[in-house]
Amino acid sequence: MNYTLNQLQVFLKIAETGSITKAAEALHLSQPAVSIQLKNFQDQFDIPLTELVGRRIYITDFGKEIAEAVENIIHQVHAINNKTLAYKGQLFGRLKMAVVSTGKYVMPYFLAGFIEQHQGIELRMDVTNRAQVIDSLMCNEVDFALVSIVPQGLKVDSLELFQNKLFLIGNADARLKRGRKGSEIFKDLPLIFREKGSGTRQTMEKFIESNDIPALKRLELASNEAVKQAVLAGLGYSIMSLVGVKNELYNNDLQIIPVEGLPIKTMWSLIWLPNKKLSPVANAFLEYMREEKSQIIQNKFDWYEQY
């Protein structure tokens, strides 16, 4: 037996996800790299760990037992790392976050200083849409979530950061018909929407509904970045969060189209479950956020004030 820790980690991820593709995604590896690791691991056993039925991979009973043992080994490896750091008096462990898609332009600035101070912290940040972020929080899969619309009817504790502003955005070539005012601006505008479950979409639909905006041509794209690229390419217009378009506005690749009632303002907030027992890492992060948030906002988001 001569397997590596890497092979163990890869095999465990395949067993957990039941898929080479998903394991590769979760480990940020290519599919061929994962397949090779699996093959090298399998070569050390006479009994199959997996079997392929059609295009699906299944873990055999033997594989399941091995996966269970591997999980214990990985657990022990984390324990060794943690003990080493504890011995050196450092904060160690995982910080798990889920952030909404435009939160990826916000959260890293609040994490950078903290992670630099505590090198023993392993950060995991999932970037998805609002519905999935709230699901992860409810399922207790993360310590904190970053949203800009705090969920109603769900008991959470929160720390407000700064305003999220959403404007109608078009590309540099956008030439709107003259003389149109208010909701008329939207006439004939192809609008790009985010996918169902997105908070931005929810906000945009509410605005359209409450302003009686006429029937619009629609496109639907599944991430903020995809919407931005589509607007840049001239495919349409969208109501977008200002944080995600900073550079494009500076470079004059995108423009804000002034419309009555915009920007829509929501509030970037860090939220967590009130009854959650925060880990020492999560507690330290919350303390850091309470102490440093104003300074970080002033240093990193001062550009925001001009809009």
**Which CB, 9 or 102, lies closer to ligand PGA?**
102
Q: How far is the CB of 230 from ligand PGA (least distance, A)?
A: 15
Collapsing DSSP to helix, strand or coil, 236 comes out as coil
Tokens of 249: 């506005």
Give the residue among 29, 100, 103, 18 at the shortest CA–CA distance from 64. 18
- Distance, in Å, from the CA atom of 138 to the CA atom of 154, rounded to the nearest integer, reads 9
Give one word for 85, left, alpha or beta, with left for phi > 0 and alpha for psi -120 to 50.
alpha
- Distance, in Å, from the CA atom of 62 to the CA atom of 7, rounded to the nearest integer, reads 17
**Which CB, 7 or 164, lies closer to ligand PGA?**
164
- Distance, in Å, from the CA atom of 292 to the CA atom of 284, rounded to the nearest integer, reads 12
Q: How far is the CB of 229 from ligand PGA (least distance, A)?
A: 16
Q: How far is the CB of 103 from ligand PGA (least distance, A)?
A: 7
Q: How many residues does this entry show for the chain?
A: 307
Q: How far is the CB of 106 from ligand PGA (least distance, A)?
A: 10
Task: Give me the 73-112 binding string for ligand PGA, x by CB under 6 A, dash otherwise.
Answer: ---------------------------xxx----------
Task: Give me the 221-250 binding string for ligand PGA, x by CB under 6 A, dash otherwise.
Answer: ---x--------------------------
Residue with token string 């409810």: 138
Residue from 13, 96, 118, 130 in contact with ligand PGA (CB under 6 A): 130
Collapsing DSSP to helix, strand or coil, 59 comes out as strand
147 lines the binding site for ligand PGA (CB under 6 A): yes
Task: Give me the 178-217 binding string for ligand PGA, x by CB under 6 A, dash otherwise.
Answer: ----------------x---xxx-----------------
- Distance, in Å, from the CA atom of 50 to the CA atom of 43, rounded to the nearest integer, reads 12
269 lines the binding site for ligand PGA (CB under 6 A): no
- The site that binds ligand PGA (CB under 6 A) totals a number of residues, namely 15
- Distance, in Å, from the CA atom of 206 to the CA atom of 117, rounded to the nearest integer, reads 42
Q: How far is the CB of 191 from ligand PGA (least distance, A)?
A: 15
Q: Find the binding residues for ligand PGA in span 159-178 (CB under 6 A).
A: 164
Residue nearest to ligand PGA (CB): 199
Per CB under 6 A, which region of 10-18, 54-62, 146-154, 178-186 contacts ligand PGA? 146-154
The radius of gyration of the chain from alpha carbons, rounded to an integer in Å, stands at: 23
Q: What would the DSSP string read from start to end of 147-199?
A: ESSPPTTS--EEEEEEEEEEEEEEETT--PPTT--GGGGGTTPPEEEE-TT-H
286 lines the binding site for ligand PGA (CB under 6 A): no
The neighbouring-strand residues paired with 264 are 166
Q: How far is the CB of 127 from ligand PGA (least distance, A)?
A: 8
148 lines the binding site for ligand PGA (CB under 6 A): yes
| Pairing label, strands 144-147, 264-272 | antiparallel
Q: How far is the CB of 32 from ligand PGA (least distance, A)?
A: 32
CA distances from 206 to 17, 165, 200, 212, 264 (A): 37, 15, 10, 10, 10
149 lines the binding site for ligand PGA (CB under 6 A): yes
Chain residues in the site for ligand PGA (CB under 6 A): 100-102, 129-130, 147-149, 164, 194, 198-200, 224, 266
